[in-house]
């Protein structure tokens, strides 16, 4: 799905600002049929939950309404008029005047409606957008709604981050010519004996068959390759690669011509769209993750879109500042845990050479989480009564929409199709396998992964062999072996070696972290202190550095973030290396020292290689056997 852009043939009007706002039940049953009877106003983009002092709004389960007047530019005569919502979390309905023009389920991907028939150039119309925040057994992410004794509806869910809702990203009105480009796919490669020629495979979708011309421009705007037809391959000699930390973007200018496309007289450009792209390759070979044929070691974070007051509302100032902090600390990558992020974030990563693991919103497909680390789920995760074919259909749609939106971003090097599914439970393979196949069909070029939950081990996990990279979330020293970092280090190393030996694939620590209250200190490295977070990260890293197959380390989390109420959380999840306000905790400085030295390369093993080529085990850390995970603690 193309991002709306202003081009020589397209105009773009941003509809952000203050909208009228009301919670369903406080206005009539069909509030779109007239002006919203409300005193409340809400900014777009922002989650609505933290804006108001009324607890009933924060805890509301169901629909809310946003409304504003919009004027169509008078110059748009004969143009197609499109309304685009970047995200409505989790379901959106769009009304132009009294007419329903779009409906969409899935809170983190865009949708749009052709409203040409409903509006006229120069005319004003009433735009009403309904947003529903409900999570159920057939939404991604899933949740459950219960009704309290006093009749209030309550939402629970299986992930810890707060269920922020509303219009957290931009809303746009844009024009296209009647004959227009509606999709572009770019796949890049490297060719030539010395690998200096870039190949740019392209496919252009148009709403009706049309003559297509494409041109590739370098960063100076100089044409470096050109082609004709709706698909083909361009070649760029002496190509400048997109590299981690050294981004370089070309532009693909796609024109629809009204002549025969031979470039001769009479060819007029009827639509033009410009798609930025980077030339790079991604490949998994053995236990290595290669970008442009070179081993890449991921340093960085699982993040969240989260900030005070605006919740998950996109904010350009936080965008710039977060990337500054990532650069400062030596992070070369992040995971869009646990949902697709705003497209502005993806474009920023493209321009600044930050590598992204792009994740769907499939978090919480696991009924064992919450019932204790070694707990048996109260009910099976995959069954007719819990998560089933309809859940998977919603999950498949989430994958389709993620890839449709993000397929051309050079920063995206891997798809993560689920966070902590119950991969050690009966039914997991049947649920997941078709989704892996779908992902590969939609994008045969990028590796596919999932983030494995702590209690999925190399022994009991049922899906790992389906994936290219094994991302594992591990909390040794926090949820397990709490406060005992020596044990944590031993357990982690044994755990990682188990995966490495069984699967022979690259392994990535996609989450490790410890809740830390800024300002809390202790000479004894007590949990929750800044000293403990630092010591925890270092103990984990010592284990990483001894495991050859490890290709990266993402700390959980970049910053503290808001969670649902619960006794496990004090003012939110505090595993941030930065506070929610983005102030560094002590561990930030230590990470900076480690990551700026690594510079995207794997640390050399701390021990000398053994005769079999594998690093020998350091005697201080046990014999490399795999102790059972101790049943001593429960996970939030
Ligand atoms: C992991 C989840 C992550 C949580 C984290 C935690 O993937 O979303 O925030 O645990 O408990 O299991 O901090």
Give the mean pLDDT of the chain: 93
- At 607 the pLDDT is 39
- At 20 the pLDDT is 98
Rounded distance, CA 33 to CA 622, Å?
A: 70
Percent with pLDDT over 70 in the chain: 93
Residue with tokens 């779908």: 438
| Residue 384 confidence (pLDDT) above 80 | yes
Rounded distance, CA 144 to CA 158, Å?
A: 9
| Residue 530 confidence (pLDDT) above 70 | yes
- At 496 the pLDDT is 98
Please state the rounded mean pLDDT for residues 352-363.
Answer: 98
Please report which confidence band the pLDDT of residue 61 belongs to, taking 50, 70 and 90 as the band edges.
Answer: very high
Please state the rounded mean pLDDT for residues 36-59.
Answer: 97
CA of 173 to the centre of ligand 1 (A): 37
Q: Which tokens belong to 424? A: 């050690």
pLDDT tens, position by position, 132-160:
999 999 999 999 999 999 999 999 999 99
Rounded distance, CA 338 to CA 107, Å?
A: 12
Strand partners, 22: 65
- At 565 the pLDDT is 86
Rounded distance, CA 242 to CA 220, Å?
A: 15
For residue 272, the Cα-to-chain-centroid distance in whole angstroms is: 29
- At 584 the pLDDT is 98
Cβ burial 281-305 (10 Å sphere, 16+ → b, else e) = bbebeebbbbbbeeebbbbbbbbbb
Active-site position among 511, 530, 548, 553? 511
To the query of whether residue 79 is one of the catalytic residues in this protein, the response is no
pTM of the predicted protein model: 0.94
Please state the rounded mean pLDDT for residues 334-354.
Answer: 98
Q: Which atom of ligand 1 is nearest to the CA of 573?
A: 13
Please report which confidence band the pLDDT of residue 620 belongs to, taking 50, 70 and 90 as the band edges.
Answer: very low
Rounded distance, CA 474 to CA 550, Å?
A: 13
Question: Which of 306, 456, 474, 556 is the pocket-test mutation for ligand 1 (most atoms within 8 Å of CB)?
Answer: 556
- At 605 the pLDDT is 59
- At 568 the pLDDT is 83
Question: Which domains, and CATH codes, for the chain?
Answer: 12-176 (2.60.120.260), 181-280 (2.60.40.10), 296-598 (3.20.20.80)
Q: What is the 3-state secondary structure (H, E, C) of 237-298?
A: CCCCCCECCECCCEEEEEEEECCCCCCCCCCCEEEEEEEEECCCCEEEECCEEEECCEECCE
Tell me if 19 sits within 8 A of 31, measured CB to CB.
no
Among the listed residues 203, 198, 210, 318, the one whose alpha carbon sits nearest the alpha carbon of residue 256: 210
Rounded distance, CA 96 to CA 115, Å?
A: 8
Nearest CA to ligand 1 atom 11: 636
| Residue 378 confidence (pLDDT) above 90 | no
Among the listed residues 209, 196, 399, 228, the one whose alpha carbon sits nearest the alpha carbon of residue 292: 196
Q: Which atom of ligand 1 is nearest to the CA of 454?
A: 12
pLDDT tens, position by position, 425-470:
999 999 999 999 999 999 999 999 999 999 999 999 999 999 999 9
Active-site position among 112, 401, 420, 531? 420
CA of 363 to the centre of ligand 1 (A): 10
Please report which confidence band the pLDDT of residue 606 belongs to, taking 50, 70 and 90 as the band edges.
Answer: very low
- At 259 the pLDDT is 72
To the query of whether residue 511 is one of the catalytic residues in this protein, the response is yes
CB within 8 Å of 421: residues ≥ 6 apart: 362, 365, 366, 381, 428, 431, 432, 450, 453, 463
| Residue 70 confidence (pLDDT) above 70 | yes
Please state the rounded mean pLDDT for residues 231-246.
Answer: 97
- At 377 the pLDDT is 67
How many C-beta atoms lie closer than 10 Å to residue 453's C-beta?
25
Please state the rounded mean pLDDT for residues 459-487.
Answer: 97
CA of 266 to the centre of ligand 1 (A): 60
């Amino acid at each position: 799905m193309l991002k709306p852009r202003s081009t020589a043939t397209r105009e773009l009007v941003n509809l952000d600002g203050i909208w009228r706002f009301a919670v369903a039940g406080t206005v009539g049953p069909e509030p779109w049929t007239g002006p919203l009877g409300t005193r409340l106003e809400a900014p777009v983009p922002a989650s609505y939950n933290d804006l108001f002092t009324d607890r009933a709004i924060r805890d509301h389960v169901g629909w809310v309404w946003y409304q504003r007047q919009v004027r169509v530019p008078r110059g748009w005569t004969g143009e197609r008029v499109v309304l685009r919502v970047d995200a409505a979390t989790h379901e959106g309905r769009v009304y132009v005047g009294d007419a329903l023009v779009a409906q969409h389920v899935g809170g983190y991907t865009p949708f749009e409606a052709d409203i040409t028939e409903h509006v006229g150039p120069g005319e004003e119309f009433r735009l009403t957008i309904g947003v529903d925040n409900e999570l159920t057994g057939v939404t991604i992410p899933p949740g459950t709604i219960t009704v309290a004794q006093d009749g209030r509806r309550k939402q629970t869910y299986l992930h810890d981050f707060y269920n922020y809702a509303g219009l957290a990203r931009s809303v746009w009105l844009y024009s296209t010519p009647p004959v227009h480009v509606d999709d572009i796919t770019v796949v890049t490669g490297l060719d030539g004996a010395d690998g200096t020629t870039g190949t740019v495979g392209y496919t252009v979708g148009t709403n009706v068959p049309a003559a297509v011309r494409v041109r590739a421009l370098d960063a100076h705007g100089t044409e470096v390759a050109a082609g004709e037809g709706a698909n083909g391959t361009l070649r760029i000699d002496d190509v400048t690669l997109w590299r981690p930390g050294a981004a370089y973007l070309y532009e693909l200018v796609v024109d629809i011509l009204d002549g025969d496309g031979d470039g001769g007289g009479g060819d007029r450009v009827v639509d033009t769209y410009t798609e930025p792209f980077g030339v790079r390759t991604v490949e998994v070979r053995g236990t290595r993750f290669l970008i442009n044929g070179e081993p890449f070691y991921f340093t960085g974070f699982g993040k969240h879109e989260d900030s005070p007051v605006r919740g998950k509302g996109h904010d350009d100032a936080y965008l710039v500042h977060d990337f500054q902090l990532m650069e400062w600390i030596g992070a070369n990558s992040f995971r869009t845990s646990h949902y697709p992020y705003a497209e502005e974030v993806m474009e920023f990563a493209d321009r600044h050479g930050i590598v992204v693991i792009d994740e769907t919103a499939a978090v919480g497909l696991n009924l064992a989480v919450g019932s204790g680390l070694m707990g048996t789920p109260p009910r099976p995760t995959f069954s007719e009564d819990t998560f089933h074919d309809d859940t998977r259909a919603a999950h498949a749609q989430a994958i389709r929409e993620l890839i449709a939106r993000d397929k051309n971003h050079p920063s995206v090097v891997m798809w993560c199709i689920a966070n902590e599914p119950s991969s050690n439970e009966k039914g997991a393979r049947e649920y997941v396998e078709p989704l892996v196949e779908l992902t590969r069909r939609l994008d045969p070029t990028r590796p596919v992964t999932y983030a494995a939950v702590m209690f999925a081990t190399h022994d009991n996990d049922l899906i790992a062999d389906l994936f290219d990279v094994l991302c594992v979330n591990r909390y040794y020293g926090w949820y397990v072996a709490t406060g005992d970092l020596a044990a944590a280090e031993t357990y982690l190393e044994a755990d990682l070696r188990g995966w490495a030996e069984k699967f022979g694939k690259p392994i990535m620590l996609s989450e490790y972290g410890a809740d830390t209250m800024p300002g809390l200190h202790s000479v004894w490295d007590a949990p929750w202190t800044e000293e403990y977070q630092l010591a925890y990260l270092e103990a984990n890293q010592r284990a990483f550095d001894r495991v050859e197959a490890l290709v990266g380390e993402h700390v959980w989390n970049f910053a503290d973030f808001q969670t649902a109420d619960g006794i496990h959380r004090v003012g939110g999840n505090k595993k941030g290396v930065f506070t929610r306000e983005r102030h560094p905790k002590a561990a930030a400085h230590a990470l900076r020292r480690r990551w700026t030295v690594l510079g995207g390369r794997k640390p050399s093993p701390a021990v000398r290689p053994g005769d079999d080529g594998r690093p020998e085990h350091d005697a201080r850390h046990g014999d490399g056997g795999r102790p059972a995970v101790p049943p001593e603690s429960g996970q939030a």
